Structure 1
Amino acid sequence: MANTPQAKKRIRRNDRRAEINGNRVSRIRTFIKKVETALTTGDKTAAAAALAAAQPELFRGVAKGVIHKNTASRKFQRLSKRVAALA
């Protein structure tokens, strides 16, 4: 258990950051699910629009440090390959 004021503050700060970061990751997942839903319905225009909306969310997560750059690139690449295959 934390005894020093600094350690107590660090626990409070970590809890706040974990909540914020969790919300960011959840938001990214939601955008990715929208693309996957559009892909399963086979609607290329909706999938392309959802992918265009998901791309800045993914890389905002990279900028905020909640996901790794290569992870975001890999996810975006795989989604865009699937959208392009709908043609």
Structure 2
Amino acid sequence: MMEKVLLVSLMLFMIAVALLLYRVIKGPSMPDRAIALDTIGVNLISSIAIVSIVLKTKAFLEAILILGILAFIGTIAFSKYIERGVIVERKSSR
């Protein structure tokens, strides 16, 4: 019974990721796209956790940690790009 619930929740997470991809592509504004990308990262972390529970292994925990860090850094970089137009500011030599 528990395995069926986990598989259904995994399918729902994948449907949510597909809908969020649509939001990233057709989003009305750049902040909406940034939020959709961040939410995709959270849903992927949750999906990997469910797969780890279904397979009864701890092998995916490192992948969850790395994906969480990368999703956070990506969200910060995208937000900075929206705000200023550049990600890395370079000092001029003048």
Normalised TM-score (structure 1): 0.46
Which has the larger helix fraction? 1
Normalised TM-score (structure 2): 0.44
